[in-house]
Amino acid sequence: MIVRGRSPDGVHTARQARIVACAVTLLLAAIGGCVRIQRVAPARAACPAPRLSARGWVAVEDSGVTFRLPPAYVERPSRAAFREWAENGDFQQYIIVGYIASSNPAPTLGRAPGPGMLEMTQCVDSVAGREVLVQAWRSRGGTFRNGRRLDRYDVFAVVPLRPDLRLYVTSGGYERRTQDIALAVVRTIATAQPAAAVADPVLPHQTWTLDSRVLGENRRINVYTPPGYDETPGARYPVLYMPDGGLEEDFPHVTVDIDAAIRAGEMRPVIVVGIENTERRRDMTGPTSVEADRKIAPHVGGSARFRAFIRDELMPVVGRRVRGNGQTAIVGESLAGLFVVETFFEEPRLFDTWIALSPSLWWNAQAQVRGAREWLRAQPRLTGTLYLATAGDDDVGDAGKALAAALRAAAPRGLRWYYEPRPDLRHATIYRGASPGVFRKLFPPARKTAP
C-alpha cells in the first residue's frame, strides 16, 4: 500500500525529502521536450504529449489509484512512506509514488529554480479530469556514477485526488529519458471520479490579529467559544491551542467536532484558539543537524521563537480577552505534532495537556525520541496528560513505539500518558479520524453531583 506523507506541510523522513527531490528531477526529465528556462521562473504552459508509449507496461494498483510502469522497473521493498521502483535494480534511476496531504491547489506545490539548475520547466497537465502540476529540471553534476559526475534529471508531479489529498510522482536519474518515462507514467494514472468537495462549515468565532515582536510579523488568531459562553458570564473554561488553526486549515473541522460533542453532552466545554500559519515548517521545527531536514523549506528551526510567541504574546492576550480557567492544552498533527512533543520536553509547564497526532518524530534523526528516557527520569514531579497517536503509514522508524517504550519505562507517576497506534488511519486522515474521540476522552463532561 502506498503510504501517505505530508507535504508541503512536512516530508516524513530525511530520505523521503531526498527522494521527493529526485522525483522532481524525473518529472522534469519526463518533460524534456518542454521549454527550457535558464534560471528563470518556470512557465505554466500546457504540458506536451509524452514521447514514450506506455503500451506493454505493468499496471500497479493502490488505494483506488492505478498507473503503469515499464517492466524493467523493479519495486524496492521498503517501510518508507512511499513506494519506490528502480530500473533494473539501479536506484540511481528511480520512480517514487506517494501521497501528500494539502488543501493548497496543486499548481502551488513544487519547488522554485535553485542554484545548479541548468533547466527548469513547469507546466500544467490534465490527468483523469484533474489539473496536474508537472515540474522537470536538470542539475549540473547532480549524480556521481562510475567515478564520473553526471548531470541529474528530476521530475515532480502532483495529482489532486480530494480537496485535502494529492498523489505525487517523483523521479530521478542520470539519463534524460528517465524524464520521458516519468511523464508517461503520470499520463497513465487513473482514479475514481472525485467526489464533490464539501467544505467544512465555519462556526461563529472571533478573529484577532496580533502584531508579534517575537516573530516580526502579524499573526491571525481564530477563537471559538463553546455553547452557552455568552449566557453564563461567570463560567470559565479550559483553553485548547492549535497550530494549523486557520480557516483554510484545521480550525473548522476541529471546532465543528468539539461543538457537536459539547452539545451532545459528550465533552466538557472548551475554548479553542487557532493559530493560522505563515511559515509552517519554520515555526514547527527545531534545530537539526540533518542536512536533508534543512532542505524541506527555505526556513526551518524556528520552534523556540514560535513557542515564545505563544507563551509571551498570545497567552496573555487570550487571558485578557476570553474566560479561561487556567487549564491549557495543545493539539497538533504531523509537523505540528512534532512541535507539541518538542514543547512537552522543552517547556513541560506551558500546557497541562499535549495531543500529538502522527507527529513527525523523524526530525533531526529522532532526537526527541532518543533523549526521552533520560529526560523523563529527571522529571519526577512532572504532571499533566500526554496523548500520542501514530497512523498506519507513518514512516518514523518505529519512533512512536520507541517513545512509548520510554514513557513506559520512565514516565513519572504524575504524568498520565496514552499511546494509541491507529493502523486503520493514514497520516493524511488521522486528524479528522482520531481527534473527535481523543477530545471526548481527554475532556470528558463534568460529573453531575446529586442534588
CATH number at residue 99: 3.40.1000.10
The verdict on 85 and 126 lying in the same domain is yes
Distances (CA, A) of 139 to 115, 296, 413, 415: 8, 18, 55, 51
Helix (H) or strand (E) holding 182: helix 177-187
**Run of H or E including 25:** helix 14-30
| Percentage of the residues of the chain whose pLDDT score is greater than 90 | 45
**Which pLDDT score, from 0 to 100, does residue 188 have?**
82
Which is higher by pLDDT, 194 or 120? 120
| Residues shown for the chain | 451
- Which domain-ending residue is among 137, 162, 191? 191
Residue 188 contacts by C-beta under 8 Å, 6 or more apart in sequence?
54, 57, 66, 67, 68
Instruction: Say whether both 98 and 132 belong to one domain.
Output: yes
- Burial class of residue 378 in the structure, from the number of CB atoms within 10 Å of its CB (0-12 exposed, 13-18 middle, 19+ buried): exposed
Query: In terms of domains, do 276 and 157 share one?
Result: no
Q: What is the pLDDT of residue 103?
A: 52
Q: Which residue range forms the structural domain that includes residue 261? A: 206-442
216 shares its domain with 315: yes
Lowest mean pLDDT among 296-300, 320-324, 341-345: 296-300
**Whether residues 187 and 226 fall in one domain:** no
pLDDT at 390 over 60: yes
Kindly report the CATH number assigned to the domain that includes residue 393: 3.40.50.1820
Q: Is 166 left (phi over 0), alpha (psi -120 to 50) or beta?
A: beta
The average confidence (pLDDT) of the chain is 81
- Whether 356 and 332 have beta carbons less than 8 Å apart is answered as yes
Same domain, 150 and 218: no
* Residues 169 and 263 reside in one and the same domain: no
Alpha-helical regions (H) of 220-314:
251-263, 280-284, 303-308
Strands of 65-69's sheet, edge to edge?
58-62, 65-69, 190-191
Label residue 406 left, alpha or beta by phi (over 0 means left) and psi (-120 to 50 means alpha). Answer: alpha
Max CA pair span of the chain: 84
| Model confidence pLDDT, tens digit, residues 140-174 | 776 777 777 788 888 888 887 766 677 888 888 88
Residue range 18-76, pLDDT digits in tens: 444 444 444 433 333 333 333 333 344 666 666 788 878 888 877 667 888 888 888 87
How many domains, in total, are found in the chain? 2
